[in-house]
């Protein structure tokens, strides 16, 4: 019997948290675990997933499939052991295209992709615009990527709430680009998320790592470019967690002496004292 495919959108409240980097590298890491994996660029306005994988010349894209100009199989490219569906963008017809993209058409294509893959990761646009809603709603699961700062965490809270409304399940959050002295700790992130949303563990804590941008410049996913660097190790571990082959690498959240940070965050969110 065929295992039910997993569809996961990678999201965040704002741009720059690391969604595209994570989609590409988690995808390649799942592929390396032997999983049949497809990654899809759902970021219509700021498409760049293919670039992170050094794919500069994709003639056809997800957009052509949505607008009926190409068949699904024509927009699936293979690279680094996985399938990649890039997104195209043309300034000339941006307005027309953006208003044309319909949720039903996108979902139809996503369902076709799901027939041929075990894992589908969708690089979602930041925020809560239409294209984000399409990307989240089309996937059963959602992984928010946040940075270890107050504002980023409050943004992540909002996308998790949005996913709840859209019927997409969030098992936990990924914290990216951490390591500075003032950053929130994993415990603080977990306690805030769990207090406001129910159990919400940190699935991975990916440090700020210069190798990520070096790899990006070369157009090679960092898990291939430098498999032993800190970011790659964390992403490979996350792939095992996502695939159900490893437990979460930490003790789940308990009440500890971080209540003050949590109440500050909750206050920032609701205006109320807790
Ligand atoms: P998003 O898709 O959320 O807008 P990106 O994945 O494009 O964010 O990342 C934004 C920038 O941050 C990129 O230049 C990327 O290389 C860099 N970046 C992402 N994660 C890390 C990290 N862990 N360490 C260092 N740089 C990172
Ligand atoms: Mg991006």
DSSP letter for each residue of 207-243: EP-HHHHHHHHHTS-HHHH-TTSHHHHHHHHHHHHHT
pLDDT 10s digits, 101-125: 677 888 889 999 999 999 999 999 9
% residues pLDDT > 90 (the chain) = 66
What mean pLDDT is predicted for residues 82-94?
Answer: 82
When mean pLDDT is compared across 28-42, 97-111, 112-126, 207-221, the lowest value belongs to 97-111
Strand partners, 144: 11
Give nearest CA residue, ligand 1 atom 4: 16
pLDDT confidence of residue 253: 44
Query: Which has more confidence, 268 or 108?
Result: 108
Q: Give the position of tokens 């500075």.
A: 180
Give nearest CA residue, ligand 1 atom 19: 18
pLDDT confidence tier of residue 208, bands split at 50, 70 and 90: very high
Of 174, 161, 175, the C-alpha closest to 133 is 161
216 CB within 6 A, ligand 1: yes
230 CB within 6 A, ligand 1: no
Separation of 51 CA from ligand 1 center, angstroms?
13
34 CB within 6 A, ligand 1: no
The token duo for 97 is: 């295209």
What mean pLDDT is predicted for residues 72-96?
Answer: 87
The token duo for 127 is: 């925020």
Q: Coil, strand or helix: which one is 52?
A: helix
pLDDT 10s digits, 224-237: 999 999 999 999 99
Highest mean pLDDT among 87-96, 126-135, 259-268: 126-135
pLDDT confidence of residue 162: 92
Sign, Cα dihedral of 137, 4, 42, 17? positive
Model confidence at 257: pLDDT above 60: no
Model confidence at 267: pLDDT above 90: no
pLDDT confidence of residue 48: 92
Ligand 1 pocket test target in 13, 14, 16, 217 with most atoms within 8 Å of CB: 16
pLDDT confidence of residue 251: 47
Quick one: angle between helices 130-137 and 103-114, nearest 10? 30
Rounded to a whole number, what is the distance in angstroms from the first to the last CA of the chain? 50
Domains of the chain: 6-270 (3.40.50.300)
What mean pLDDT is predicted for residues 201-228?
Answer: 97
Q: The sheet that has 82-85: what strands, in order across it? A: 77-79, 82-85, 37-41, 119-123, 6-11, 141-146, 173-178, 202-207
The token duo for 27 is: 């995808």
pLDDT confidence of residue 47: 86
Separation of 156 CA from ligand 1 center, angstroms?
16
When mean pLDDT is compared across 95-99, 137-141, 178-182, 189-193, the lowest value belongs to 95-99
pLDDT 10s digits, 145-197: 999 999 999 999 999 999 998 899 999 999 999 999 999 999 999 999 988 99
Model confidence at 249: pLDDT above 70: no
pLDDT confidence of residue 220: 98
Q: For all residues of the chain together, what is the average pLDDT?
A: 89
What mean pLDDT is predicted for residues 129-150?
Answer: 91
Separation of 128 CA from ligand 2 center, angstroms?
14
pLDDT confidence of residue 62: 92
């Amino acid at each position: 019997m065929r295992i039910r495919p997993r569809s996961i959108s990678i999201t965040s409240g704002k741009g720059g948290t690391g969604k595209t980097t994570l989609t590409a590298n988690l995808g390649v890491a799942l592929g390396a675990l032997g999983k049949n994996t497809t990654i899809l660029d759902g970021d219509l306005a700021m498409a760049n997933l293919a670039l992170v994988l050094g794919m500069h010349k994709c003639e056809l894209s997800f957009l052509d499939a949505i607008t009926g100009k190409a068949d699904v199989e024509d927009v699936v490219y293979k690279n680094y052991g996985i399938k990649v569906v890039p997104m195209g963008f043309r300034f000339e017809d941006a307005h027309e295209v953006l208003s044309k993209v319909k949720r039903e058409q996108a979902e139809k294509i996503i369902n076709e992709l799901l027939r041929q893959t075990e894992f589908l990761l969708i690089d979602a646009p930041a925020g809560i615009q239409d294209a984000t809603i399409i990307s989240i709603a089309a996937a059963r699961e959602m992984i928010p990527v946040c940075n270890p700062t107050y504002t980023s965490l409050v943004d992540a809270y909002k996308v998790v709430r949005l996913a709840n409304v859209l019927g997409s399940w969030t098992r936990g959050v990924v914290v990216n680009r951490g390591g500075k002295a003032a950053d929130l700790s994993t415990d603080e992130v977990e306690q805030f998320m769990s207090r406001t949303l129910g159990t919400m563990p940190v699935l991975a804590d990916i440090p700020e790592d210069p190798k990520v941008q070096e790899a990006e410049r070369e157009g090679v996913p960092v898990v291939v470019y430098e498999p032993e660097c800190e970011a790659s190790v964390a992403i490979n571990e996350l792939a095992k967690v996502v695939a159900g082959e490893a437990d979460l690498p930490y003790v789940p959240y308990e009440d500890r002496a971080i209540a003050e940070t949590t109440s500050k965050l909750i206050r920032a969110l609701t205006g109320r004292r807790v």
